[in-house]
Structure 1
């Protein structure tokens, strides 16, 4: 059985530090992506993104403008679903209190998630794992004119 997997992600950019990246481990696999995740039944996109940022980053955000929605076929790396990802620019409503890392996959304790800033001038599609995220990086590079 195939089905759609709707996901929503936030692009949090700090002018001095860069773009927030989440390094995670699930199902024995390491991957880098933007903060966000799956839409739950009965939830709107913006509410889902606010919930995901609260769950992952313990951060309240304001959801700004839409940036990109998947416009090609992408099969999930974890199941048989077709992934549709929606990306928004977001703004933190208070200073970030996360422990920031400088190396990828630098998990602490039992946590299987860590966060780091990626300077925009150094940003490459290969800094994120999934095809749609890589497309977003390429579009960001054009928009920001890196």
Structure 2
């Protein structure tokens, strides 16, 4: 039997047209992605996303709309599971309270922990697919930008 790993992520765009991303290091691997994480047994996608934002960002969010669900095979970078990622556009219900970094992977060098994450706001016009590590995040960004462009044309 091959395990599945269901992940849920939020694309949060501020009023200043900045998108929240996270730089993380775990198991000596560094990567950049959208905030979010794994679905826990018995949990729905929306509840999982709200929980993840509260745990990671100390932020209550509202889920606006579905953006993208993985439609290709993606093996986990950390184990032998198949990743299924679901992306939603989200909006904050309160002001961001987390510390924001200005440069990628601006980790506290003095911390000796298994997992560390920091957050950045990146101007939408400057954010590129290659700024994100995983293929699913890159595809979600492409779809999101397409939806934004289509909305602006109408």
Indicate whether the TM-score tops 0.5.
yes
| Residue 46, structure 1, aligned to residue 49, structure 2 | no
Equivalenced residues, count: 146
Between Structure 1 and Structure 2, whose CA radius of gyration is higher? 2
| Residue 31, structure 1, aligned to residue 54, structure 2 | no
Partner of 1:121: 125
Q: Secondary structure at the match of 2:13?
A: strand
Deviates more, 1:37-46 or 1:14-23: 14-23
Q: Secondary structure at the match of 1:53?
A: helix
Instruction: For 1:140 and 1:101, locate their aligned partners in 2 and report how far apart those are by CA, in whole Å.
Output: 23
Could you list the per-position Cα deviations for residues 20-56 of structure 1 after superposition, in whole angstroms to 9, with x for gaps in the alignment? 0000000100000000000000000001001100110
Could you list the per-position Cα deviations for residues 108-137 of structure 1 after superposition, in whole angstroms to 9, with x for gaps in the alignment? 353711100111111111111000001112
Residue 19 of structure 1 and its aligned partner are, at CA, apart by 0.6
Instruction: For 1:140 and 1:39, locate their aligned partners in 2 and report how far apart those are by CA, in whole Å.
Output: 22
How high is the TM-score relative to the length of structure 2?
Answer: 0.90
Q: Is the 8 A contact 2:61 2:91 kept in 1?
A: yes
| Residue 73, structure 1, aligned to residue 73, structure 2 | yes
Q: Which runs of 5+ in 2 are unaligned?
A: none
Q: Is the 8 A contact 1:67 1:88 kept in 2?
A: yes
Deviates more, 1:125-134 or 1:110-119: 110-119
How high is the TM-score relative to the length of structure 1?
Answer: 0.95
Partner of 1:98: 98
Instruction: For 1:63 and 1:133, locate their aligned partners in 2 and report how far apart those are by CA, in whole Å.
Output: 18
Q: Is the 8 A contact 2:65 2:89 kept in 1?
A: yes
Instruction: For 2:101 and 2:2, locate their aligned partners in 1 and report how far apart those are by CA, in whole Å.
Output: 37
Residue 2 of structure 1 and its aligned partner are, at CA, apart by 2.0
Instruction: For 2:44 and 2:70, locate their aligned partners in 1 and report how far apart those are by CA, in whole Å.
Output: 17
Backbone CA RMSD of aligned residues: 1.5
Q: Is the 8 A contact 1:23 1:30 kept in 2?
A: yes
